[in-house]
Structure 1
Amino acid sequence: MTHIRFATAADVPQIIAFVRELAAFEREPDAVVATEAMLEAALFGPRPAAEAVIAEGADGAPLGFALFFQNFSTWTGLPGMYLEDLYVTPAARGAGVGKALLRHLADIAVERGYGRFEWSVLDWNQPAIDFYRAMGAVGMDEWTVQRVTGDALRALAGR
């Protein structure tokens, strides 16, 4: 049985470990520059930027996590939930942990009156795409993500 709870500051080391495992799975093992201090400030500082939940087994062992934040749709006039990361340990995959995490987040979104629950998935991760479709997700194939980072972000800001 999977138990899901909101993360606490004490979970930050486990969350950063999960983030690193996820980055390795997504073929970007060296891309994680976030530190425990950065995540602690982002999740539990005076102005939290995101929230996280931890999935645990019956023995309390961490099985995975989800990190999410509120966004907003001008079209619906409602806030929404954006799932930044969903990760389940390899040993726990296929045991319903990912499904439990998504259902838990959907419940939070409904409880808070959000109009949407959305996320991105790598186009090569067909097992994840199939899983999300089975859970009722619809691909937004006509939309592409745009991103500005680093020097390009500073240049855009005129700095």
Structure 2
Amino acid sequence: MRENKNNLVIRNAKEEDVSTLLSLIKEIAEYEKMSDQVIATEETLMESIFKNNRANALILEVDNKEIGYCIYFYNFSTFIGRSGIYIEDIFIKKEYRGNGFGSEIFKFLARKAKEEGCKRIEWSCLDWNEPSIKFYKSLGAVPMDEWTVYRLTEKEIIKLSEI
């Protein structure tokens, strides 16, 4: 399916989009072979995104059909002394990929970063996801090979908080 990227609408998600967001999150999890890790619910998304403003959600539409989403939030660089945008997810349904919509969401976020004085846009990518890596490099993105991402999960957070 070839769509004109001029038909793309990028809009802020609204509370009534929460079920669509969850459905799209489940689709990206399936693509990333991580479906078993999705524990998000409509309620947790509603609380985190719309009630507590912990993240921002964008919906991508073509002809009033939701074709993808983006979740991002702000981080901070002490070295630069400025905030940046961290992209948690960008997902476009398979049948809509290759139409320039990925580039459009990055352009959208770049304009937002520029307007808000953000000095970086960062994200993570799975090592095996060659199509995405190729796309990111085509934008001029560079991998941060000298950095390793570390994570504390809920179990470790609870354990550490009780020490």
TM range (shorter): over 0.9
The Cα shift of 1:41 comes to 1.0
The equivalent position to 2:36 in structure 1, one of 30, 47, 55, is 30
Aligned 8 A contact 1:63 1:97 in 2: no
Decide which of 88, 95, 110 is 1:84's aligned counterpart: 88
Structure 1's consecutive aligned runs of 4 or more residues displaced over 4 angstroms after TM superposition are: none
2:156 maps to 152
Aligned-pair CA distance for 1:40: 0.9
Identity level (%): 41
User: Is 1:93 aligned to residue 97 of structure 2?
Assistant: yes
2:22 is equivalent to residue 3 of structure 1: no
Mapped partners of 1:34, 1:69: distance in 2: 17
Give the alignment of 1:2-151 within 5 angstroms. Answer: 2-45=8-51, 47-57=52-62, 59-151=63-155
AA aligned to 2:10 is: I
Q: Deviations over 1:6-65 (max 9, x none)?
A: 1111111111111000001001111100100110111110x31000111110x1101111
TM-score by length of 2: 0.93
- Structure 2 residue runs of 5 or longer lacking an equivalent are 1-6
3-state secondary structure, aligned to 2:145: coil
Give, in angstroms, the shift of residue 150 of structure 1: 2.4
Supply the AA of the counterpart residue of 2:35: P
Q: Which runs of 5+ in 1 are unaligned?
A: none
Q: Is the 8 A contact 1:65 1:101 kept in 2?
A: no
Q: Distance in 2 between matches of 1:103 and 1:63?
A: 17
Alpha-carbon distance between aligned partners in 2 of 1:51 and 1:140, rounded to the nearest angstrom: 24
| Partner SS state of residue 30, structure 1 | helix
TM superposition score normalised by structure 1: 0.95
